[in-house]
Each structure stands twice: as C-alpha cells, then as structure tokens.
Structure 1
Amino acid sequence: MPQTAIAAEQAPTNRALREFLHGLPGVDDVGARERAAGLATRSVKTTAKAAALDLAVRMVDLTTLEGADTPGKVRALAAKARRPDPDDPDAPAAAAVCVYSDLVGVAAEAVRGSGVGVASVATAFPSGRAPLEAKLADTRRAVADGATEIDMVIDRGAFLAGDYRKVHEEITAVREACGGAHLKVILETGELATLDNVRRASWLAMGAGADFIKTSTGKVAPAATPPVVLVMLEAVRDNLAATGRAVGVKPAGGIRTAKDAIRNLVMVQEVAGPRWLDPALFRIGASSLLNDLLMQRAKQRTGAYAGPDYFTID
C-alpha cells in the first residue's frame, strides 16, 4: 500500500506523477481475476437479500445518455427515480438521474424536493477530447442549471501517452468548477488495457480531487468487469488508509441484473469494507438494472415474479 498520495492542491510535475504512479504495487492480474470470480459465488438469501435489493435500488444512478433523449424522456426517468414502483410505497428512491448537460434543468425541476440527485456527464462525454475551456464551461453550466454531481471523463489519450500532468490538471480544474457539486471521474477502463493502468488512473484521479472514481461511460466494452471494480475498490480502501479521505466508486456499463448488483455489493463488503455500503460512497450507473431489481423485490414481497412488462420500460 502506498504511504503517500498525490495532493490535489499541488501542481506536481509529470516526472513526479510518473514516479508515484509507476511506483504503485503491480496488480496480480491472475489473482485479481480469481478473487473476483470467487466473490461472485457468494450467495445472499432471505432477509439479507431483501435488504441488499433495497440498498442496490438506492445506489442506482438512473441513466439516459442517447442522442435522441427528449425532455419528456428525462421527466419520465426522473419520475421513476423518485418512485420506482408506484404500487409499493416502501420501494426506495434511486440515488440520482444521469443526463446530458443540456437536459440538467429539466431533470432538476423534475426531482426538486425529492432528495434524488442530478448527475451530468459534462466535459466532452464520452470521448473527453475537447479544449479544457469547453469542458469547464460545460461543467459550470450544468452546475448552474442544478446538477449536484458531475461525471467527468478523462482524456485517455493523454493518460496512455504518459501525460499524467495534463490529466491531473484537467481533473483539478473541473473539481474547482464543480463548486459544491460532487465530481465523479470516469476512467473508461475498457480503453486502459491493463489492471495496472486502472490502478494508476484511480490514484491519479483521487489525488486530483475526485469524489468518486467511475469505471466507464457505458459506450466502450468491456466496462465494469469484476476485476476492474475489485482493483478500484482496493484503491479507495488504500487511499483512505494513506490520506484519511474516503472516495466513492461507481461501476457503470454491463450491470443489468439484480444478481450482478448483489455481486458488486458483496465485493464492496469484502474488499473495501462496510463503510462503502452506502450511496454516498458506492453507486451503480445503469438504465435497465432498476427494472430487474424491482422484479426481484416484488418476488420477495409476493412470492411471484411480476414480469418485466409490469414496470415501466426505460
């Protein structure tokens, strides 16, 4: 475990960043995959499963990120986030709705007073390829329109080229532009090639001020694979020990079933620890997942599956 970390308030040189990031312990690729596979075999039953399903619902960032998104679709999504199952008043609300920056105002109005957050994928999502000035303007507009969270995507080209200082400076600048909004930094792990790079990108983002580290945009495969999530959970656990600051994790992309979600919760418990079993520190970016969670909740409550057409289609 590293004994120090990158300070967000500093402006480290590229050499210093390289020395720190390449001095991190290497990831045992085989070991990480075997441990993730082993944790996936754990079962959660009866009352523990009911509690896990409710917790997973509370962790969902209900997401629509399509070019054809409309204000009406965003309002419908927000209504579902506020009250996922109209026939069950005990069903918890989702954590947030996640939309493009130009629809933040619509989402903010639709969730007003509910406690549901509004996340915006500012900063040239999903490529991350735009001038910093444009990324900052997008962030400031989203926050002004009511975004409580910004999901920023890093410039993977700069990271893979070893220009760690550019990535660090952009995250730091966006963190400042967020003001009181939380910053989730998307690593796009499917393009990072190795688990060592996932670990390095995680530490780089945390050191630059990320409140969350997020696996993926959902536009690139593979996305939130279990070994990747495991490495990121190890990073936030070790960062807490090194700095005293707890950073959240958000897997996104490919988590579609209640079984997938519960497997992630088991991994959170076993790798990072129970502190992360909270929407303040663990989120799941998804669109279709919520319906399967609601189906499983209905099965727990009534003993029978309601069927996918019982709930709204996202």
Structure 2
Amino acid sequence: MPTTAPAANGPAQGPANGPAHGFADVTASDSTLRRFLHGLPGVDTVGLEARAASLGTRSIKTTAKAYALDLAISMVDLTTLEGADTPGKVRALGAKAVRPDPTDRTAPATAAVCVYPDMVPTAKEAVAGSGVKVASVATAFPAGRASLAVKLADVREAVTAGADEVDMVIDRGAFLAGNYMEVYDEITAVREACGTAARLKVIFETGELSTYDNIRRASWLGMLAGADFIKTSTGKVAVNATPANTLLMLEAVRDFRAQTGVQVGVKPAGGIRTAKDAIKFLVLVNETAGEDWLDNHWFRFGASSLLNDLLMQRQKLTTGRYSGPDYVTVD
C-alpha cells in the first residue's frame, strides 16, 4: 500500500535532533501543517493488519534466534514508572540493566533504564560507566495534562539531573481536536529544552488516537518537530503497542528518511511481554524499515517484564533446559 507523503520543497538539512528544515514550508502555519497531515495517504486497515499478521508468522532458526534474543535484550528500556518507586528499587533495576544475567557474563546489557525525573540521579549512579543510558519520562507523564511551563520544567529537571533521553507525551486532547500546530510547537519547545544532552522520544499514546490515520499523522508530526524517536504508548492505557500500529510507525520513519535523509527511531511500549512477541517485532523492523534500524540506537522496547522471558529463553537455547521464573529477579 502506498505510504509516501506529499513532497516537501527540497531535502532536509541538519541533524536528527532538530526539525527537518526541508519541511519549513509545511510547518509555517496551522493551515499548511493541517493540509500536509491530511494529505498523507489514508491507511488501508485491512492491508495493514494482514501484513502485520503475516510477518508475525515468520519462523527463525536456532542461530538466528540466539542473535535475535541478544539483540532484543540490548534494545530493552528497562522501566519502572510507579508511585511506589524507591531509590533501592531503581538501584536494583540499574544493576539488572548492566548485568541482566549475573550467571552469564555473555548476556548483553539493556539499552537504558527508564524512570521518573526525580529518580534520574539514582539511576545514573547505578549504571555509571556501563554504557547503559538513563531515560526519563517527562511533560506530566502519562496524561500530559499540565501547562507548557510545567512540562518544560519537568524536562529541564530530568536533563539537569543527567538524563540521556527524555520520553515526552503529546497533548492528545489538542491533537484530537485538530490543533496540530499547538502539538508541534510543544514538541519543538521540549526538543529545545533537551538541547544536545538528551535524545527525545515522543509518545503518541496510540491507544487513544482512535484511528490508524491519526497514528500516521502523529508520526509525521513528531518527526517534523524534531523527534529522535517516535513511541507508541505510555503503557498506562488498555491498548498499547501492537504489531499493526508499530508497522505503521516503521513505514513512517522509513518514508521520512527517504524524503529527508534523517533517520528517526521507533519504540513500541506496553504489552510486549514474551521473547516470541519481541522477535515478531524484530521481523517487522527488518522487513519494513530495514537492517539500519536493527540496532538499539534506532529501535527500543519499552518494557518491564519482557527482559525476564528473554533471559529464560536465552538460557533454554544455551543449555537445553527451561529454568522458569525463579531463575530471574522479580522487578
């Protein structure tokens, strides 16, 4: 199915941590932005879901499975976002991110630990010197119901504390009301608050956007505003990451790079709990966006329980024995 966006005037300029300047005419006003977003090809729901289901049936051999399990582990943003989070819990999570399997030093570290802004200093200390990143949610996560001043203060607190990545939520109310420029301006303001210190992940909460057309529009809106990653969900609503909505976002980043030369990452989050599910998502990445995205710089899993199943499946592949849940820590 066609997914190419209406052409912009000229190629994009500048790094991925800023807006794609080749679309300056598109983002010049609310009317031009609206015209562009509503000019994107409509999503063929049946075709999208059928392709996602078809790719999910692909099987991989033992050697490839071992590679896929390690790759998936390296892509996990190990996450704790609860009101009951304590420094001790965050330190334990950081230790697990650095060495997911204490009995096997060949197991890769995860990509990042994701916490609330006030827990960033604790997380930074826990992963110091390891290469594991610290991500922080911000902008009044998960609802995003706060003034822009409060949201930006949230971001600056996280960045000042040392966050390597910021996961922001868009104002879904503004988006669904058709106030696209308001959403665009908010993302660009957050992008500026991140500066060069932190990469920006923009969360759409796809389960609240109602339609695939809206998910495609949100994907392009986030990328136009300078997102380094586009992310499905907060993990706090009923419908989170699905193969279909992730496939749609992968198509968007693929087409965006084709038009601008700017590569943007994708992060499905929420509801991905098993190694089998994770491998299905990796197949989606490979078959849709391509091998360039098969790296934790460009693809992540937002998860808390997924890592345990990946570790158990990894040990089963190595030893031939399935250890069960007692083999891994309960986070």
The interval holding the TM-score normalised by the smaller chain is over 0.9
Aligned to 1:4, which of 5, 8, 18?
8
Within-5 A mapping of 1:84-95 = 84-95=100-111
**Aligned counterparts of 2:28 and 2:46: Cα–Cα separation in 1:** 33
Unaligned runs of 5+ in 1: none
> Are 2:89 and 1:73 aligned?
yes
What's the TM-score, normalizing by structure 2?
0.93
Match of 2:16 in 1: none
Q: 2:261: which partner in 1?
A: 244
* CA RMSD in angstroms, aligned pairs only: 1.1
AA partner of residue 208 (structure 2): E
Q: Are residues 1:216 and 2:228 paired?
A: no
Aligned partner of 1:20 in structure 2 is: 36
1:96 is the counterpart of 2:121: no
After TM superposition, give the deviation of residue 301 of structure 1 in Å.
0.7
Structure 2: distance between partners of 1:235 and 1:27: 11
Which of 52, 63, 66 aligns to 1:50? It is 66
Give the number of aligned pairs.
Answer: 314
1:68-217 correspondence runs (5 A): 68-180=84-196, 181-217=198-234
Distance 2:69 2:305 in 1: 15
Secondary structure of the residue aligned to 2:40 is coil
Alpha-carbon distance in structure 2 between the residues aligned to 1:13 and 1:127:
26
1:45 Cα deviation from its structure 2 partner? 1.8
CA distance in structure 1 between the partners assigned to 2:28 and 2:222 by the alignment: 13
State the AA in 1 paired with 2:108: P
TM-superposed deviation, 1:4: 2.4
CA apart distance, 1:212: 0.1
Shift of 1:12: 2.5
1:306 aligns with 2:323: yes
**Counterpart residue type for residue 137 of structure 1:** A
**Structure 2 match to 1:257:** 274
CA shift digits 1:162-220 (9 cap, x unpaired): 00001000000000100120000000000000000000000000000000000000001
Q: Which residue of 1 aligns with 2:15?
A: none
Q: Residue 129 of structure 1: CA displacement?
A: 1.2
CA contact (8 A) 1:12 1:165 kept: no
Is contact 1:8–1:172 with CA below 8 Å preserved after alignment? Answer: no
In structure 2, the partner of 1:59 is: 75
Of stretches 204-213 and 219-228 in structure 1, the one that deviates more from structure 2 is 219-228
Identity of aligned residues (%): 71
| Cα distance in 2 between the residues matched to 1:44 and 1:98 | 30
Counterpart contact for 2:20–2:262, Cα < 8 Å: no
Q: Deviations over 1:256-313 (max 9, x none)?
A: 0000000000000001111000000000000000000000100111000111111111
2:281 corresponds to 1:277: no
Once the two structures are superposed, residues 84-142 of structure 1 have per-residue CA deviations (whole angstroms, 9 ceiling, x without a partner) of 00000000000000001111111011111100000000110001111111111111110
1:297 aligns to 2:314 (yes or no): yes
Take 2:145 and 2:260, find their aligned partners in 1: how far apart are those partners?
Answer: 31
- Whether contact under 8 Å (2:312, 2:323) holds in the other structure is yes
Measured in 2, the distance between the counterparts of 1:4 and 1:234 equals: 18
**Structure 1 Cα separation of the partners of residues 222 and 200 of structure 2:** 10
Q: Is the 8 A contact 1:122 1:139 kept in 2?
A: yes
Q: Runs ≥4 in structure 1, deviation > 4 angstroms?
A: 5-11
Calculate the TM-score normalised by the size of structure 1: 0.98
Structure 2: any 5+ residue segments left out of the alignment? 13-18
Deviation at 1:8, TM superposition (A): 5.0
